[in-house]
Structure 1
Amino acid sequence: MKLVWGKIKKRGYIPIGYKLMMSYLIFIVFLVTIGYVSHSMYDSSMRKQTRENIQNTLAQIRDNVAYKTEDIVRISSTLYDDEQFVENLKMNLTNAQEIHTRAKKVFEPKLESASKSIGINLRLFIYVKNETISQVYYSYKPGSNFPNQTFNIYHMGRIVNRSWYQSLPSEEYGITMRWEEVENDQESGRISMIRRIVDLQDPINIHVLGIMRFSVSMDELFESVDYRKLGEGSMLYVLDRSGRAIYASDQEMQTASSDNNSSLTRRTTIPELLPEDEYLTLKEYMAPQGWTIVAHVPLTIIKQEAERVRTFIIGICILCFIVFTITGVYISGYFSKRITKLVSTLNAFREGDLRKRITYRGKDEFSQIATAMNNMGEDIEMLIEKVYLTELEKKEAELEMLQTQINPHFLYNTLSSINQLAKFGENEKLRKMVVELAKFYRLTLNSGKNLIPVYSEIEQANAYLDIQKVKYGHRLEVTFDVDVEVWKYETIKLILQPFIENALKHAWSGGDRIHIRIVARLENDEILYRIIDDGIGVRRESISDILNPSGNSETGFGIRNIHQRVQLQYGEKYGVSIFSKVGIGTSVTVRIPARKRRLFLDEDQALGE
């Protein structure tokens, strides 16, 4: 440590190698801190995350049960809304043949179809007031053999004194139904959906014709109510309106059912209130049935998950510390040696020793820099003078050229495209490009005038774009949005085409297409041109360098030239502004005063007189 500090004190600054290593160490400390904070936050958020996951699972269980109950309700609705079925329930027949025909043609087909509509163990019971309807039923006794999907017809006299019948809520047409354990449901592990059959012709003064009872096995109805979906040690209960457990699933019951080689044992009691520091309790309410699904999940599941994540985070932090430390030492040493050589050579050049050279092996950036510096050392003085004079002359020539004519590269590229079209025999495209080129230069030259009508500037830009469309085809999309009010005004020529060319040259990343929108508007005695593209965009620093260059920057020389021409012609209030977002596109605005052409000035004066 003393040796390192001595070297730093001797040099008067911290070498780049130490700076790089210090940055890596700071990053490692930051990483470890992040790991520690992440672990601390994880403990507090794990309960919430697990609660949400379990709540979602519980909601899925609820939806699965609701799906099966809705199937049964749907089947009951086919009978409830069947006018023929209801009318036959109302008919009092005396003829034995007619009674038999009604049973065979109407009741038995409909009830058999309803009992077998879904693939579960369903028993359908129909209780009717009309005693001319024959009773048909099975005797459901333990050990009796009968089909899984059956229907039964009884007279209502059997149930009028039963408490479950008398406690049915008042009938709301098409709505009232109830889930309850009635008759022998409790002994056989079943539950029933009970619903009245009413006269459809009078939904206001409801007349009850009978009762439908769909009895279904709880093991099938609550098949999805399985504690294993929530994790070992969890408990699941289905409570009815009174809070009594009608179905349950937990480890103890699963073991008992396995020992008995039967389905899950039913439980009618639930455990006392479980401590919150040991169990997480969640509920899902099923309003149509009046059931509540309750889940008790031991927090040990959460703790085990937290411990697993804690171990993972600690392991990642240790691994990253080792990897980043080794990487930091190697990279800092690698860059430090090379940068030190470069600094040493630059110091020699600054002192006038242009014979010093650097030698690097390989083809990386340092090797290229070394080669460039060696070449620079050979003729730096001559190069400075040559570059200075050349760039000065170039800048002056470009300034004059951009004020009077189009970049000759455009003409060269257009002629080259014409040559290619002629070579491949595309005469129609060739003719169109020649016509548009002639039109473009006719509008551009304009007898040497600097001020031209706005429509001529728009035509000139359109002619340029028509030439480019021949070249690029459907990949170039152009939209003109021009206010007709601007036709009567004049403008400086050649202020649209350079921006369009710039968009094609720099904004287009070489992708499938580019869209350019050209706008001309009259706003508050000013004409606003906008050239909008959806290209790659320009960084904010580049925009600043274009309009406010530092030193002898040549970035955006053409744009800056237009800006200067506008201000020289109309004043500093006007000029060019650029807005761009990288990856989205660029919008260039050129603002000039709205000055009418002489023709329209004469007309206005004549109207005034």
Structure 2
Amino acid sequence: MIHTPFTGTQGSRKFIPFGIKLLISYMMLIIIPIFMFGYFASDIMTDSIRSNTTNTIKGTLRQIEDNVVYKLEDTVRLSDLLYYDTTLSKQLLHYEEGWVSYETTTELLLPKFRQTIESTNRSLWLTVYLRNETLPEVYYDSKNIDPLVMKGRFFDLLHLNRITEKPWYQSYPAEKYGETMRWKQIEDDSRYNRISMLRRLVDLESARLNEIGFMRISVYLSDLFQSVDYRKIGVGSTLFITDGSRNILYASGATEQSSEQLWDASNGDNYLVIRQPLPGLNWSLTAMVPSSVLEKDTQKVKLLSLVICSASCVLILLVAAFVSRTFSRRVLKVMSVLQSFRQGDFQRRIHYSGNDEFTTIASSLNELGKKTQTLIEEVYTTNLKKKEAELESLQAQINPHFLYNTLSSISRLAKFGQVEKQHQMVMNLAKFYRLSLNEGQTIIPIGKEIEQVRAYMDIQQIKYGDRVRIDYNISPEIVELNTVKLIVQPFVENVLEHAWRGDQIDIQVIGYRAGDVVHLFVADNGNGMPQETILQLFSGEGMQRVGYGIRNVHERIQLYYGKDFGVAIESEPGAGTRVHIRIPAESA
């Protein structure tokens, strides 16, 4: 038994008028807000503070990110001065012994490296490892003292064999022109709180970018991350930068905590945590703000909410009776219209005087009734057109001319005793019509659609031999996707009937998926057609059989999938034709 909410009773439950319920609700609202409003107000204020703080911190983090990225890019810029220097590349490839080698180093290489490091005012240590061992080594003898402690700029010139056995060198990725570089703490970097940018020097004139050297630019973490200062986001906060392995490279505001302690704290509920990835690197900038800092003003909000709720009790009691009566009468009108809609009468309308929420509801209900009635009519019309299109498609499937010609060919094969070809043609004909009918189903897998094309073309190739050639390039990922049937074969048939001059013709059937769209193409090198003919095919002028078939496919696709899909044709006289079919990628 179906119950309606518009009758006086519902089962055994007593009917309570809306006005009474509304009055009871108002009375409940007098008490409940006293206990609940403070809680919700506190949550709202906390969320507001969190939102404002989050936005402020994100802005600060973006500024910090910009500063860090600038210094990273400045270091990369220095390496570019060496990487893209073709003159330097040729000098490093020039093998000479004795005095010539020494002269090349002192007069050409050392000035170049010195000029490079002096193009910045930052403290850094440039080390260049050379594959050409005829060039002498030149290096700063630090004797276990960090050269960067002097706040200067230094460079060393060493042979590559010093590092070829190092794990960090052996694991360095393959070279991509101008892109391959890595930031990593190696050797004694961790000991001296440094980090190094590693990059190859390559023969720019070699197609394989052969390695001719290696460069390492070491900088202090405190210099690179100078802008990472917890005081920018508030006292008690923490800022730290981590690499892709969750190792903390640099921290501000919590230096006494270990990496694991920082990670555990950032995954807890006691902090607001904001993470900002650094572009171009697998690094993250993380900010942690204590929740206690964010929620210090919530107690004031709770007290204020109690005062507001107490005042609202008096006001609600005064207006409850009046509002309850007014609303009750208007709700009854709405219920009456809804009851009519439920019974299928969408002609019923409701009218309210004034300009308030009930006026908006009345207008919306009236518009809903009007649109629903219109939608019913449109759905009926659309379904009617779809059925007509299905009927036209079924008629187009059974091509008497094709069947007659095929049976005639079978007869000739039988007459000349070509039993094997006769057998193949009969089997392909049966397969073609079995796939065409497809037990009355309109939606089929794309794979079956292509099978039907194959069956049709197998028949034609038995008849015409090598004069008809077809190539299939169908992506395996689309064969199980669904399509409206008979959207490819009509275009293949059209090639043989209207584009073939009688000599050899080549046909291509291509299918692939791009995002949520399946693209199918039928291309030939036949007669082609002018633009005016293409426009006539889609407009229906003349209603020739070829034009009817093309329009039928185009309209059926749009009926099922919408105006964003369908058929497009590109052709020029004497240059062949290319048909493009677009359908959505829908699984079975």
Q: Give the TM-score normalised by structure 2.
A: 0.42
| Max Rg structure | 1
TM-score (normalised: structure 1): 0.41
Greater relative contact order (Cα 8 A, min sep 6): structure 1 or 2? 2
